[in-house]
Amino acid sequence: MIIKKKRRFLDFDLDKEEAWLNELSFQGLDLLHVGFRYHFKESDSKEVSQIKIDYQIFNNKEDFLNYETLFSDSGWSLISGGHHGGRQYFKRIDENAGTEIFSDTSSKALRLKRLSDSLLSFAMMYLPIAVTLSMTTD
Amino acid sequence: MKRNNNLPLTETVFYILLSLLEPAHGYLILQKIELLSNGDVKMAAGTLYGALENLVKLKFIESVKSNDPRRKVYVITDYGKDILRLELERISHLKMITEESIKGGLV
């Protein structure tokens, strides 16, 4: 059975989101897809999946394909995400793979920077609309 | 002499440049680094991806034609080789002065 859960778009703490998804996997809910909501499959398997989230923007499909292949070669399968960019959800598929997708703190810090940079440019994009709206309501 | 402001290199960058003296795709780079470091450095995919993007921007490495559309192949540039040589000089100097201090019984 597919279970859907609401997504909190304003939650920027990716570590917290990872921990929450892993806790749900422990309870038997395996992540299938992330769209406007999280989609989970109920599973009897005792196996707990390890989910990690990256944030990336890609120039083109080729860049995305190269990115996805590097992760799958390294034992991490993409569950949800894509060449349009944004949050990329990975599940560890190889027991021999490491347990992290970042092996140092500086590269992990850059994940947060990419996320906040794109949220900022998103906000700037909508600023003229917001300004126009506020002016026309007067 | 003014030092190149890209120096010193991080261990991650040094190993990537060294791995790319011959063309390689992402996962092959990770394997080469593990081998070169005697298993000490196990770089994760997200860390390598970000580093490669940055090194292409700095023109230390470039992507070359790949027969596999799923895997980009990278190689070090001439500028990247210059940087590697400058870094080697820096490290060699550190090694030399430290060894002199050891001989002098200071360490």
Shortest alpha-carbon distance between residue B63 and chain A (Å): 11
Shortest CA distance to B70 belongs to which of A109, A73, A130, A37? A73
- DSSP element (H, E) containing A79: strand A76-80
Neighbouring-strand partners of residue B74: B24, B63
Residues listed for chain B: 107
What is this structure's pTM?
A: 0.89
> Does A123 contact B at CB distance below 8 Å?
no
The closest alpha carbon to A99, from A62, A49, A58, belongs to A49
Residue B100 pLDDT more than 70?
yes
pLDDT score recorded for residue A63: 96
Tens digit of each residue's pLDDT (9 = 90 or more) over B38-81? 999 999 999 999 999 999 999 999 999 999 999 999 999 999 99
Assess B72–A contact: CB distance below 8 Å, yes or no.
yes
Angle between helices B26-36 and B11-19 (to 10 degrees): 110
Computed over its alpha carbons, how large is the radius of gyration of chain B? 16
- Tell me the residue type at A58: F
Q: Report how far apart the first and last C-alpha atoms of chain A are (Å, whole number).
A: 50
Instruction: State how far residue B74 is from chain A, nearest Cα, in angstroms.
Output: 12
A103 interface with B at CB cutoff 8 Å: yes
The answer to whether B12 contacts A104, with C-beta atoms less than 8 Å apart, is: yes
B29: nearest CA partner in chain A: A70
> Which residues touch B63 (CB under 8 Å, ≥6 apart)?
B56, B72, B73, B74
For residue A100, count CB atoms less than 10 angstroms from its CB and return exposed for 0-12, middle for 13-18, buried for 19 or more.
Answer: middle
How far is Cα B29 from Cα B19, in angstroms, rounded to an integer? 6
Tens-place pLDDT, residues A86-95: 999 999 999 8
Per-residue pLDDT band for B1 (boundaries 50, 70, 90) equals low
Give residue A62's pLDDT band: very low, low, confident or very high (50, 70, 90): very high
Return residues 30-69 of A near B (CB < 8 Å).
52, 54, 56, 62, 65-69
Residue A138 in this model has a pLDDT that exceeds 60: no
Measured CA to CA, the distance from residue A110 to residue B51 in angstroms comes to: 10
**For residue A137, is pLDDT > 70?**
no
C-alpha dihedral (A84, A88, A91, A94), degrees to nearest 10: 80
End-to-end CA separation in angstroms for chain B: 29
Size of interface A-B (CB pairs under 8 A): 60
B37 and A CB contact within 8 Å = no
